[in-house]
């Protein structure tokens, strides 16, 4: 399988996971079962959905849309993202969401960082409180554009993330996702890619402003070992109740790696399991989709699933991925 096929798998996998998690985001496991039963496919969002009520099956959320925003900025900036241009693009994106009558807006870390920037703070400092998963959810374009050598990759993660998530925890989580995706695009098997994620998280934890919280590399390592051999029901309970599924990086990002370890050979089963966990399901499934998409490429996802997500959202990611891969080649 070519690196292009794997890169397409990563970006489309992100979108597919995002769409599967859209109707269940910010709901409890119990409410998900009440309104949807067990998630096995794309579903329309119910009226009771707190973030995306009544959206059509296959619709993506902020995870995919902000990843596309990052991709466009990377390509137009020839591999660099100007923080003030990034800030303006994020605010424009949110204004567009409001105009569409949607409440899937900027996350707490990103919102706070942009307010600080507007108040005159240095872009190097605006992200010093960013410990949520916003950087990790939109880091896949950086992973596609950057090779798997960890020193360079982590620096690219820092550059793309520091405006909003310039903390040891935020950088570590984003670096872990980027490393797993970039290694997969380069042809590494899943175990090796997840090992690389642990190493990248350890490097990322040395960057940014220090914030108290569980070490991402250690939590990924523990979670991977703990979930091995669990059946799907036990796994879902373990991830949702013990690892956690909130927007905190050390919960949702670690949850995605736990599912990758346990269900990495079956991408759709992994993503539908993520969608049923409760909490930040769209981000967990999006991150997981990117990691597993880099492993399995587009053939890892059923054609009807991929087609629906493409058509509902008008997605044409091939030119975007090609532009990101050009950056990857120029940096090699």
63 labelled as ligand-binding?
yes
Residue 215 is labelled as binding a ligand? no
Q: Could you give the CA distance from residue 175 to residue 255 in angstroms, rounded to a whole number?
A: 15
Do 29 and 278 meet the contact criterion of CB atoms below 8 Å apart?
Answer: yes
> Residues 6 or more apart from 260 whose CB is under 8 A from it?
180, 190, 194, 270, 288, 291, 292
Q: What are φ and ψ of residue 39, in 5° steps?
A: -75, 120
Is 189 among the annotated ligand-binding positions? no
280 has binding-site annotation: yes
Q: Determine contact, residues 198/221, Cβ cutoff 8 Å.
A: yes
283 carries a ligand binding annotation = yes
> Between 83-99 and 150-165, two packed helices, what is the crossing angle to 10 degrees?
60
Residue 282 is assigned to a ligand binding site: yes
The full DSSP string for 230-254 is --HHHHHHHIIIII--SSBHHHHHH
SS3 27: strand
State residue 167 phi and psi, 5-degree precision: -130, 160
* HSE value, Cβ hemisphere, 13 Å, CA-based, for 186: 20
Structure tokens at 11: 């970006």
Supply the DSSP string of 84-139, one letter for each residue: HHHHHHHHHHHHHHHHTT------HHHHHHHHHHHTT--TTTTTTT--BSHHHHT-
Q: Which residues are annotated as a binding site for Mg(2+)?
A: 61-63, 280, 282-283
Q: Which residues are annotated as a binding site?
A: 61-63, 280, 282-283
């Amino acid at each position: 399988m070519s690196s292009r096929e794997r890169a397409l798998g990563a970006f489309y996998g992100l979108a597919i996971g995002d769409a599967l998690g859209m109707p269940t985001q910010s709901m409890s496991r119990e409410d998900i079962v009440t309104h949807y039963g067990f998630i096995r496919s794309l579903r329309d969002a119910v009226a009771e959905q707190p973030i995306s009520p009544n959206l059509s099956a296959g619709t993506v959320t902020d995870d995919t849309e902000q990843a596309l925003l990052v991709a466009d900025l990377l390509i137009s900036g020839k591999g660099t993202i100007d923080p003030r241009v990034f800030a303006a693009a994020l605010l424009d994106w949110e204004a567009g969401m409001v105009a569409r009558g949607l409440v899937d807006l900027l996350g707490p870390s990103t919102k706070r960082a942009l307010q600080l920037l507007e108040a005159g703070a240095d872009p190097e400092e605006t992200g010093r409180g960013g410990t949520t998963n916003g950087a990790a959810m939109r880091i896949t374009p950086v992973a596609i554009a950057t090779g798997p050598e960890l020193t360079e990759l982590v620096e690219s993660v820092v550059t793309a993330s520091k405006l909003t998530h310039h903390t040891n925890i935020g950088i570590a989580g984003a670096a872990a996702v980027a490393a797993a995706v970039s290694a997969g695009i380069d042809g590494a098997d899943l175990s090796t890619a997840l090992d690389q994620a642990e190493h990248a998280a350890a490097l990322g934890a040395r960057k940014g402003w220090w914030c108290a919280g569980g070490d991402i590399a250690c939590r990924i390592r523990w979670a991977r070992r703990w979930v091995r051999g669990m059946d799907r029901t036990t796994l879902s309970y373990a991830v949702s109740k013990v690892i956690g599924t909130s927007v905190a990086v050390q919960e949702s990002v670690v949850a995605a790696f736990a599912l990758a370890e346990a269900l990495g050979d079956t991408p759709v089963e992994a993503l539908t399991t993520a969608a049923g966990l409760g909490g930040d399901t769209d981000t967990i499934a999006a991150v997981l989709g990117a990691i597993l998409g880099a492993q399995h490429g587009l053939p890892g996802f059923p054609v009807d699933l991929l087609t629906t997500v493409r058509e509902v959202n008008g997605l044409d990611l091939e030119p975007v991925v090609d532009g990101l891969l050009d950056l990857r080649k120029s940096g090699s």
